[in-house]
Amino acid sequence: EIVLTQSPGTLPLSPGERATLSCRASQSVSSNFLAWHQQKPGQAPRLLIYGASIRATDISDRFSGSGSGTDFTLTISRLEPEDFAVYYCQQYGSSPLTFGQGTRLEIK
């Protein structure tokens, strides 16, 4: 099973700043099959990125994904108030599909 470790656990930033979230895999993620999801309190997660760098439908271009192998990054270029949420990475290259423990992006 591929274990995904996200850092930092909590990231305090201000609106307008740039956010960089990390996801490290315990082994290489096949074909860069890595997704990022956003979850706001009381809501279901929402897909942001798949294939490590492909934005999902209707996702703002402020969100970008990068990385390959075992190291992946989600960058939010200019934080808007609605971006403060929990972000999860998820690999779907091998079974069982697994998630990171999440990074909480909070307002500083």
Binding site for other proteins (CB under 8 A): 1, 33-37, 43-47, 49-51, 54, 56-57, 88, 90, 92, 95-102
Q: How far is the CB of 51 from other proteins (least distance, A)?
A: 6
Pick from 25, 19, 21: nearest CA to 36: 21
| Smallest separation, CB 57 to other proteins (Å) | 8
Closest CA relative to residue 101, chosen from 43, 21, 32 = 21
Give 45 or 83: the residue with its C-beta nearer to other proteins. Answer: 45
How far is residue 25's CA from residue 42's CA, in Å, rounded to a whole number?
28
